Amino acid sequence: MALQLRPNCEYCDRDLPPHATEARICSYECTFCSDCVETKLFNVCPNCGGGFAPRPIRPAQEWRPGVCTARQAPSDKRVHLKYGLDDVAAHCARVKDVPPEQR
């Protein structure tokens, strides 16, 4: 199963197209821009508490049959935070000093 490649940052709603090198995801595919991950979330997913990794780029060109953005389209469903900003800030402050591999 391919990643959803969500189209936006869940925090600031910045567009994150499939080729965006500043997209970050957690293991549940929660998607945020690198700026929000570094300056607002402190590498803490506000949904699950996990850390982030750069989201892989899905090739636009079909290098192998059936494997490209044209054949496996990225999601067009925009996702937004399900928690308020104060709640997110408190959650991230509580978890940020615990290394992701120990969360």
Q: Does 10 map to a domain?
A: no
Q: What is the pTM of this model?
A: 0.92
Q: Does 12 map to a domain?
A: no
- How many domains is the chain built from? 1
Q: Does 56 map to a domain?
A: yes
Q: Does 34 map to a domain?
A: yes
**45 lies in which domain range?**
23-102
Q: Does 83 map to a domain?
A: yes
Does pLDDT of 103 surpass 80? yes
Q: Does 97 map to a domain?
A: yes
Q: How confident is the model at residue 1 (pLDDT cuts 50, 70, 90)?
A: confident
Per-residue model confidence as pLDDT tens digits over 23-64:
999 999 999 999 999 999 999 999 999 999 999 999 999 999
Strands 53-54 and 31-33, how do they pair? Answer: unpaired
Paired residues of 33 in beta bridges: 23
- % of residues, the chain, pLDDT over 70: 100
Number of Cβ atoms within 10 Å of the Cβ of 7? 20
- Give me the pLDDT at residue 2, please: 81
Q: How confident is the model at residue 19 (pLDDT cuts 50, 70, 90)?
A: very high
